[in-house]
Amino acid sequence: MRPLLRRACEPSLLQAQLQSHLRCRMGFNGLPSKHTRLNLNCMSSQPQPEKRKTPIPLYPRQIIPPRPPQTHHERPNPRPKREAKIETLNENSMANMPSVVVYHAGTGKVVLIGLLRVAVVLTFVGFSLIVVPAFYANPESPSFLPPLLFVGGCLPLIFVSYTSAPFVNSISMKVPANVIANIPAMRQYFNHLPKSTTVQIETMKFLFWPRYTIASVKDLIPASSVSRPITFKTLRPDHRPWYAGGNKSEFYAAAPRSTPEAPTKKYRPEGWVKLFESIQSNRPKKPHQI
């Protein structure tokens, strides 16, 4: 009797009896549906194998040694190198910046001075090649007259060339590219004009060819002269040989008007107002004011 009870209590017999009981209750010979199906494996008394867990490797903690404290005399001082790099960058970037015209003397004045220079040159050539030889070949003319006529032909040329040399045709200013098309940004740039701004001053050579002088705002100071009109001069003129016009250091540009002209896309007269004020502020102090 005990073997029969032991056999009846086995898990396999219990599963078979439960399956037959479910078939009779459901009324068909198949297994129950997915809603009534039981997990019969949970009735087995066999223990499930445990999953093996991979151990997490443990590494020794890295200890970073502390930095030794630096004293005041051992601390590096990169400030001079940084400032030199910024100045070099500004000089290189200024050369690639676009320019805008802030001052123009007027087409009529430029043409008038150019024609005046050509006229005095033609006068000198006429006196030297025609008048002076004619009086020199005439035996009745006094001997001092040909040299006097030659000097008289040279005087207008020297006077016009000397007095009109500082005359400025136009002044162009280097401005950042992001303020060229933005009028409010350009006005703000003019109101806070940096001293390192580069300007290009256009004058006239011996006849009427243009001559360009590049200077910085910080090097322009106000000046005046009795012999010819001068408004400002530069402390660092371009070193050129005598046959190329020599050093150009003095310039004449009319003071800004009370009502500036209407600006255009490439002409900003309000820039000349701020540039003129900046030049006047660069006036060197007298010895008793230092």
Are residues 152 and 195 both part of a single domain?
no
| Domain C-terminal end among 125, 147, 163 | 163
Lookup: tokens for 183:
């009028």
Q: Per the structure, how many domains does the chain have?
A: 2
DSSP secondary structure letter of residue 288: G
What 110-119 contacts at long range (C-beta under 8 Å, 24+ apart), as own/partner pairs, is 110/169, 110/204, 113/164, 113/167, 113/204, 114/204, 114/207, 114/208, 116/160, 116/164, 117/160, 117/161, 117/164, 117/204, 117/206, 117/207, 117/208, 118/207, 118/208
Q: Are residues 267 and 228 in the same domain?
A: yes
The verdict on 175 and 223 lying in the same domain is: yes
pLDDT in tens, 177-236: 888 878 888 889 998 899 889 999 999 987 778 889 999 999 999 999 998 999 999 988
Rounded average pLDDT over 166-170: 93
Residue 193 located in a structural domain: yes
Q: Is residue 75 part of a domain?
A: no
Domain encompassing residue 156: 107-163
Please check whether residues 159 and 195 belong to one and the same domain: no
Rounded Cα distance between 15 and 150, Å, is 141
The reply to whether 140 and 238 lie within a common domain is: no
- Tell me, yes or no, whether 120 lies in a domain: yes
User: Does residue 211 sit within a domain?
Assistant: yes
- The candidate with the shortest Cα–Cα distance to 172, out of 262, 103, 110, is 103
CA pseudo-torsion sign 80, 85, 88, 90: negative
Q: Is 197 found in the same domain as 137?
A: no
Query: What is the DSSP track for 138-201?
Result: -TTS-TTHHHHHHHHHHHHHHHHHHHSTTB--EEEEE--GGGSS-HHHHHHHHHT--TT-EEEE
- Pair 183, 158 in one domain: no
- Domain end (from 122, 139, 163): 163
- The answer to whether residue 92 sits within a structural domain is no
Residues 135 and 231 reside in one and the same domain: no
Q: What is the pLDDT of residue 209?
A: 84
Q: Is the dihedral of CA 267, 236, 240, 230 positive or negative?
A: positive
- Across 143-151, average pLDDT: 91
As a whole number of angstroms, the distance between CA 20 and CA 29 comes to 9
Of the residues 135, 163, 191, the one at which a domain ends? 163
Co-location of 147 and 195 in the same domain:
no
Task: Please give the residue that has the higher pLDDT: either 14 or 158.
Answer: 158
44 assigned to some structural domain: no
| Residues ≥6 apart with Cβ < 8 Å to 37 | 31
Give a yes or no: residue 285 inside a domain: yes
> Both 138 and 175 in a single domain?
no
Kindly state whether residues 176 and 283 are assigned to the same domain: yes
For the stretch 87-131, pLDDT in tens is 333 545 555 678 899 999 989 999 999 999 999 999 999 999 999
Do residues 197 and 218 make contact, with C-beta atoms less than 8 angstroms apart? no
Asked if residue 19 belongs to a domain, the reply is no
Please tell me whether residues 180 and 270 are part of one structural domain.
yes
